[in-house]
Amino acid sequence: MKVSVKTPATIANLGSGFDSFGLALPLYNIVSVEETVLPGSGIEINIINEKNNENSSLVNVPTDKNNIVYKAIELLYNFIGQVPNELKITIKTEIPISRGLGSSASVIVGGLIAANELLGHPADKKVLMSIATEIEGHPDNITPAFVGGMTFSSWEEDGSVIYRKLPWNDDWKLMVCIPDYELNTDISRSVLPKEVPMKDAIYNLKRTAMFVDALYTKDEELLKLALKDKLHQPYREKLVPGLVDITNNLKHTNGVIGTVLCGAGPSILIIYNGIGVSEIKEIVSNTWNYFNVKTNFLNLPIEKEGAIKIF
């Protein structure tokens, strides 16, 4: 028996919502899990670059028991008192790696749901989300990968994940600007301070409250304020050449609501109200060209559904 699950890309943080806000995008990874029929065949992991896009890090992805998909599945098996012995795992990738688009969360979630189906559903969604978050380290990408849409989530001390889906105004469009280089998440996290000034924590607390209210009231001016951040983006700017310039150059561009890092970067998300597309692309391209960075633009809606079994 083989089970395959398609899981969307995700963008975390969205400015002020560090490690808590996330949204799903219609780019997908597909993870297939099957029990092999030959005893002693062990674990086989295959990775297929579905779109032949520039995922140079794929060559460095482990295809043994160090693979994050296997590690997640192993935790699920351990949860029911078993050990995965003979498994074939196939990962078809469409989501660029190390660009801040939730590629790891996507395959973790897909692998867990597929393995849970294969085992006869011993774990409910709460358990699966907890296991996935334990592997990923934070729930901001995991949650929208599971349930789709715009979410906020919290990883509690008991290991559980509390989340809610939030409304998104379809008049607010998303432009994902993907640079032609990668940024390892561990490196991006390493530049963050262990402690932050109280005034910066309070600043972000205000902005997250504004964010939620702006979503429910569809208040564009409030969202502009809510996207500002002092907890992570100021520290990561030096790792993303041109980010400050792009943000400043777009600040007064017609139609632009805000510019934020996609997760840990280096991709950039521009939220706009549907106008000024050509001008926005020109500004981003010209700015990044100055830093010898080429850009791939994706204009995408929010993916309102999360991971789904496809066959």
Write out the residue range of the structural domain in which residue 293 sits.
Answer: 173-300
Q: Are residues 183 and 145 in the same domain?
A: no
- Same domain for 291 and 261? yes
- SS3 assignment, position 27: strand
- pLDDT (0 to 100) of residue 51: 65
pLDDT, mean of residues 186-194: 94
The 10s digit of each residue's pLDDT in 88-114 is: 999 999 999 999 999 999 999 999 999
List the CATH number of the domain containing 8: 3.30.230.10
- The pTM assigned to this predicted structure is 0.94
Which whole-number Å values give the CA distances from 162 to 30, 79, 106, 271, in the listed order? Answer: 26, 20, 19, 26
* CA separation for the pair 247, 261 (Å, rounded): 10
196, 291: one domain: yes
Identify the three-state secondary structure at position 283.
helix
Query: 154 pLDDT band (50/70/90 cuts)?
Result: very high
CB 49 within 8 A of CB 56: no
- For the four alpha carbons of 298, 302, 307 and 311, in that order, the dihedral sign comes to negative
Whether residue 74 is found in the same domain as residue 187: no
- How high does pLDDT run on average in the chain? 93
Poorest-confidence range of 62-71, 203-212, 284-293?
62-71
Strands (E), the chain: 2-12, 21-35, 43-49, 87-93, 150-155, 161-166, 173-179, 256-261, 268-272, 295-300, 308-309
Which carries the bigger pLDDT value, residue 185 or residue 225?
225
Are residue 224 and residue 113 in the same domain, yes or no?
Answer: no
CB atoms within 10 A of CB 160: 14
11 plus 68 within the same structural domain: yes
The verdict on 151 and 50 lying in the same domain is yes
Do 6 and 108 lie in one domain? The reply is yes
- Give residue 49's pLDDT: 84
35 & 6 share domain: yes
- pLDDT, tens digit, 9 for 90 and up, residues 227-246: 999 999 999 999 999 999 99
Confidence (pLDDT) at 57 = 62
Q: List the one residue out of 160, 139, 133 whose CA is nearest residue 151.
A: 139
Contact 27, 7 (CB under 8 A): no
43-49 and 87-93 as β-strands: parallel, antiparallel, unpaired? Answer: parallel
Q: How many domains does the chain have?
A: 2
